[in-house]
Chains A and B, each alone.
Chain A
Amino acid sequence: METGTKKPIDPKQQGRIYELTHSPGQFAESVIEWIIRICGISAIVFVFGIFFFVFREGAAFLFGGLDLVQFLTSTEWYPSSVSNQRYGVLALIVGTISVTILAMVIAVPFGLGAAIFVSEFCGPKLKEVFKVVIELLAAIPSVVWGFIGLQVMNPLIIKYLDAPIGLSVLNGGCILALMSVPIIVSIGEDALKAVPDSYREAAEALGASHWQVVYRVLLPAAKNGLLAAVLLGTGRAIGETMAVLMATGHSVNIPTSLLDSVRTLTATIAAELGEAPVGSDHYQVLFIIGILLFTITFIVNLTADLVIKGISTENDL
């Protein structure tokens, strides 16, 4: 700006420079900067705060009394037995993982396919309709999804798959897939939209077909964003409570087929925390399950970070 004053300048620009240097903004600016900084730091504080409180509630039993090996390897979950309480969460972990994997097997191809279609192939009219419908899908509360699992899917599965009961991995997985598809579609579509149009134009100028542009140019360029979409979808599936509580049958059981009922970690916390007397072993075990869920999500996110880093260094070479 000092160099600017040496040259002759037109009055319009002078006014603008005057505004920039002498506006009352300097103080306000530093205030705003601090507010933004506090917002940024608060996110970290909240995460650690939540982890601290969850950990504190469960810590006493985690380090005194709980047999960690039995906790992680036993399938016997008898928290409210009168004579012999047993806390084994293996079946719950397997339940969570099986339902999540099935949900992702269904949701990822559908979600990414829909994102590519909406962003690259469909006309503006159809796109409007699609976005509205997908946003509506995301707005359905999870209890309603649970009801659909219980009242609609259950009889259908019994009728057409000849299963004794329709509350199963399959039912829960389908419901969770429907719940994560909107997230994968919206974020995936944003990622594809963020690829500069010049990439598409360059590829088309080289004679690439529409599908080649998508496959060779857009997907590699939007890789990180698409991975983030999938991971957020996975996070939704792992963290979902009410819908899986109703759709999976809530049955402590190691599944051997898609038609077996299971119970998930989150549903167990939801169903039992209200009852457990504060401070009792059962109460603390539920918080330890919370720590376990925290750890699982952390591992998923860490893996994702490492994968993204791996991808970007590959690109650098």
Chain B
Amino acid sequence: MCNTPRPRLTGLLLVLAVYVLLLNGCSKKDESTSPPPPQKVVIQNAGSDTMVNLAQAWAEAYAKVSPNVSIEVSGGGSGTGIAALINGTVDIANCSRKMKPIEIERTKKNTGKEPQELTVGYDALAVYVHKGNPLSEISIEQLANIYGEEGTITKWSQLEIQYAACANDEIIRISRQSNSGTYAYFREALLGKTSDFKLGSRDLHGSKDVVELVSSTPCAIGYSGMGYATKHVKMLKVSKNTGGPSASPSVENTLSGDYPIARPLYIYSLGTPNGEIKKYLDWVLSETGQSIVSENGYVLLPKE
């Protein structure tokens, strides 16, 4: 019948062509970070999704400062980074929350080294809504009522706004997967240690995804690092109590403590850092390293 071997061959070639294109796309990225001089030191770095852009920017800038050191950055969440630190597969882990005592214990048991904590900057968690949303400020109380297990706010009208673009008035809660440091911090900031989020939120897998989904969904509310803001979304001012003074997420408000949901960002290393790792971490805390922090929308360490 009409079954010649040619269509399969053509198909295969097309698929190959696509793959080659994809591979090219990938390898271009690698060229900048991995020229092959001898005795190259590779520092493995994994962890917080909030910090992955920042860590990438550090790695790229550091490649110019010290070309014989290559820093391989991956994201996945603070929990993922810590798990990798416990297994000894990374040298340093980015973390947007503190390590739990049990995790420190496990690291000691598995690798024989105690993880060392280093604060490298601060991140303000912004509460995002669609840019057409008339709401401009929200309180921690209200957020707890929206996200919390015992919360009662499910409609935008309960926040005393009329929102026509969201036809059925329902608040679509956008959250993060539960291994994210952002999730853990936001839950603690809203509900303390004893309560949980209401089920049924849309749990996304990345900081950027949250902002993108909010920008395309009129009814949505979501939270993510303020570094991820785009012009298609709106950041709400946040107050501690309903009716109280509110502050917008900004560098000044974070440092002054007026903005209530901001947290430190950490880098954990295995044991006291030495050699190239120590040099890298010192550079991160230096003026150049810290300027990259603010360029990426995070808050740099206060000058002593």
Per-residue B-contact encoding for A265-287, CB less than 8 Å = 1, 0 else: 00000011011111000000000
Per-residue B-contact encoding for A34-51, CB less than 8 Å = 1, 0 else: 000000000000000000
Task: Point out the residues of chain B lying under 8 angstroms from A246, CB to CB.
Answer: 205, 209
A151, B12: Cα distance in complex, Å: 28
CB-based contact A154/B217 at 8 Å: yes
CB-based contact A131/B218 at 8 Å: no
CB-based contact A76/B7 at 8 Å: no
CB-based contact A128/B4 at 8 Å: yes
Known: A135-B15, A164-B172, A246-B205. A253 touches B200 (CB 8 A): yes
The reply to whether the CB of A70 lies closer than 8 angstroms to some CB of chain B is no
The reply to whether the CB of A206 lies closer than 8 angstroms to some CB of chain B is no
Chain B nearest CB from A176 CB (Å) reads 18
- Stretch from A81-89, A102-110, A288-296 at the B interface: A81-89
CB-based contact A271/B205 at 8 Å: yes
A165, B170: Cα distance in complex, Å: 10
Q: A242's closest neighbor in chain B, by CB? A: B205
CB-based contact A154/B77 at 8 Å: no
Out of A158, A162, A252, A272, which one reaches B216, CB within 8 Å? A158
Interface size range on A against B:
35 or more
CB-based contact B80/A275 at 8 Å: yes
CB-based contact A158/B7 at 8 Å: no
The reply to whether the CB of B37 lies closer than 8 angstroms to some CB of chain A is no
CB-based contact B14/A136 at 8 Å: yes
The reply to whether the CB of A306 lies closer than 8 angstroms to some CB of chain B is no
The reply to whether the CB of B3 lies closer than 8 angstroms to some CB of chain A is yes
Known: A82-B193, A83-B194, A136-B11. A165 touches B220 (CB 8 A): yes
The reply to whether the CB of A236 lies closer than 8 angstroms to some CB of chain B is no
Known: A135-B15, A271-B177. A76 touches B199 (CB 8 A): yes
Out of B2, B3, B12, B83, which one reaches A274, CB within 8 Å? B83
Q: A154's closest neighbor in chain B, by CB? A: B216
CB-based contact B177/A250 at 8 Å: yes
The reply to whether the CB of B235 lies closer than 8 angstroms to some CB of chain A is no
Interface size in chain B (residues, C-beta < 8 A): 51
CB-based contact B4/A245 at 8 Å: no
Task: Point out the residues of chain B lying under 8 angstroms from A251, CB to CB.
Answer: 199-203
The reply to whether the CB of A261 lies closer than 8 angstroms to some CB of chain B is yes
The reply to whether the CB of B135 lies closer than 8 angstroms to some CB of chain A is no
The reply to whether the CB of A124 lies closer than 8 angstroms to some CB of chain B is yes
CB-based contact B178/A272 at 8 Å: yes
Known: A253-B199, A272-B179, A274-B77. A166 touches B217 (CB 8 A): yes
Chain B nearest CB from A26 CB (Å) reads 35
CB-based contact B103/A75 at 8 Å: no
Task: Point out the residues of chain A lying under 8 angstroms from B12, CB to CB.
Answer: 135
What is the interface of chain A mostly: helix, strand, loop, or mixed? loop
The reply to whether the CB of A223 lies closer than 8 angstroms to some CB of chain B is no
Known: A77-B199, A261-B202, A272-B178. A132 touches B7 (CB 8 A): yes
Per-residue B-contact encoding for A69-99, CB less than 8 Å = 1, 0 else: 0000001111111111000000100000000
Known: A83-B195, A158-B218. A272 touches B11 (CB 8 A): no
Q: Identify which of A77, A127, A166, A274 gathers the most chain B CB atoms within 10 Å of its CB.
A: A274
CB-based contact A162/B83 at 8 Å: no
CB-based contact A250/B194 at 8 Å: no
The reply to whether the CB of A139 lies closer than 8 angstroms to some CB of chain B is yes
Task: Point out the residues of chain A lying under 8 angstroms from B15, CB to CB.
Answer: 135-136, 139
Task: Point out the residues of chain B lying under 8 angstroms from A75, CB to CB.
Answer: 199
A274, B49: Cα distance in complex, Å: 13
Known: A127-B2, A251-B203, A271-B205. A162 touches B217 (CB 8 A): no
Q: B106's closest neighbor in chain A, by CB? A: A277
Q: A125's closest neighbor in chain B, by CB? A: B2
Known: A128-B10, A245-B205. A79 touches B172 (CB 8 A): no
15 A–B pairs (Cβ distance < 8 Å), ordered by A: A80-B178, A80-B184, A127-B2, A129-B7, A132-B10, A151-B216, A158-B218, A164-B219, A250-B204, A271-B179, A274-B76, A277-B103, A277-B106, A278-B83, A278-B86
Q: Which residues of B contact A (CB under 8 A)?
A: 1-4, 6-8, 10-12, 14-15, 18, 76-77, 79-80, 83, 86-87, 102-103, 106, 166-168, 170, 172, 177-179, 184, 193-196, 199-205, 209, 212-213, 216-220
Q: Besides A155-B216, A164-B218, A250-B202, 12 other CB < 8 A contacts?
A: A84-B196, A158-B216, A164-B219, A165-B220, A245-B205, A246-B205, A246-B209, A250-B203, A252-B200, A271-B178, A274-B77, A277-B83
